[in-house]
Structure 1
Amino acid sequence: MRKFRAGLAAVLVAAGLGLVAPGPASASPYCGIMWGSLAKADADMSAAQVTNVRTGQQPCYDRLVIDLAGKVAGYSVRYVPVVVQDGSGFEIPMLGDADLQVVVTAPSYNHNGQPTYTPAAKAELSNVAGYQTFRQVVFAGSFEGYTSIGLGVRARLPFRVFTLDGPDGGSRLVVDVAHRW
């Protein structure tokens, strides 16, 4: 019993002196993702028009793609307390515990006012049932050269935004939201 007490006392003293310490925390990023959850934006204006909105699943993230006829030049993507409708400012209730407002500086109508993108169901642009991160994708409107999409997600998770060239002189705005931190 004396040896046990002496050994226990030695361990406690060593721990108190910092000689015995847990190893360093080595949390590796999920799937190599090093994104954050702060707003991402490009303030340029675009002469393109929105033509489609679609989603997809990847092993480490869910993806939102906005197709444009022309070169996408500007966007703003950020977590918001509530998604608001363009023009009116009405709040749009969203599924999920966090909301991303995706704004692209491109209308969903042409120079003659004719629609270039008319969603069949504004409250569900894409069926995201079974997605790990996405809970709902809504059309928040197109007003004065801006088009807004609401993206309801499971939680406030890291995301990235980038553009890709598309076919026939078009382009795509891509928003990837990680499945977890």
Structure 2
Amino acid sequence: MRPVGRAVTALALTGVTLVGTAGTAWASCGQVDHNPVAASACATGWGSGLKSAPQHSAEPLTNVRAGQHECFDRLVFDVTGATGETGYRVGYVGAFHQDGTGTRIPVAGGAILEIFVNAPSYDPSTGGVVYPGTPGRSLPGVSVGGYRTFKDTKFGSSFEGRTQVAVGVRARLPFRVLQYGDKVVVDVAHSW
């Protein structure tokens, strides 16, 4: 095959690979793809500034889970039963302080991403615990060992109808916040 033909074939295969892997990154919170061609195409343009939405949920936070993808690490907040969008406030902070008390909570990593989800971790009608986070402790059921970007997680509080957590990340990296039905999703890129 001539050099021009090989180049066209390589570009066509690269295009197929990029399109094919872009869909798989969204398929599952815990899925990991190891395609080096797609990984080189991880431009985000997300920025690292504060992102927020004001809505509140009448439904409680039921679960938090983490996943790894080629271009980012992901944290998913499940607000089971929420029928509208759930508000949030996500931004980098110099230190993590528990909402309501101001107590400093150490978080490992090069930067701290503070996340407020406008849903309580308790049932608003009964006061019973729904998501069993303990202030100052790692998020229950979330293990980020071996992640490229996430280094630590901490539960802050559930105070006045919103839940506060922190994610220790490798460095101050770009992030985005998405909503899918009753889920608030925070993705932090592996690089700029």
Fold agreement, TM-score > 0.5: yes
Local SS of the residue matching 2:79: strand
Shift of 1:70: 2.8
Match of 1:46 among 57, 64, 76: 57
* Alpha-carbon displacement from aligned partner over 1:65-90 (angstroms, at most 9, x marks no partner): 11112324211000011111122111
1:69 to 80, 86, 89: 80
Residue type matched to 1:43 in 2?
P
Q: CA contact under 8 A between 1:47 and 1:70: conserved in structure 2?
A: no
Equivalent in 157, 176, 182 of residue 160 of structure 1 = 176
2:63 maps to 1:32 = no
**Residue ranges of structure 2 left out of the alignment (5+ in a row):** 1-39
Corresponding residue for residue 128 of structure 1: 144
Q: Distance in 2 between matches of 1:149 and 1:68?
A: 15
1:17-69 Cα shifts (integer Å, max 9, x gaps): xxxxxxxxxxxx95131110000000122212100111000011000011112
Amino acid at match of 2:68: Q
Match for 1:95 among 82, 104, 108? 108
8 A Cα contact 2:52 2:89, kept in partner: yes
- Residue in 2 that maps onto 1:23: none
Specify which structure has the higher proportion of strand: 1
Matched residue count: 148
> Structure 2: which amino acid aligns with 1:101?
E
> Are 1:122 and 1:139, in contact at CA under 8 Å, matched by a contact in 2?
yes
Q: Which residue of 1 aligns with 2:157?
A: 141
Letter of the 1:83 partner, please give it: F
Matched residue SS, 1:84? coil
Contact 1:107–1:146 (8 Å) recurs in 2: yes
Partner of residue 69, structure 2: 58
C-alpha distance in 1 between matches for 2:161 and 2:187:
24
- Relative to the length of structure 1, the TM-score reads 0.77
What RMSD in Å do the two structures reach over aligned CA positions? 1.6
Residues 152/105 of structure 1: CA separation in 2 closer, same or farther (3 Å cut): same
Q: Is the 8 A contact 2:156 2:166 kept in 1?
A: yes
Normalising by structure 2, report the TM-score. 0.73
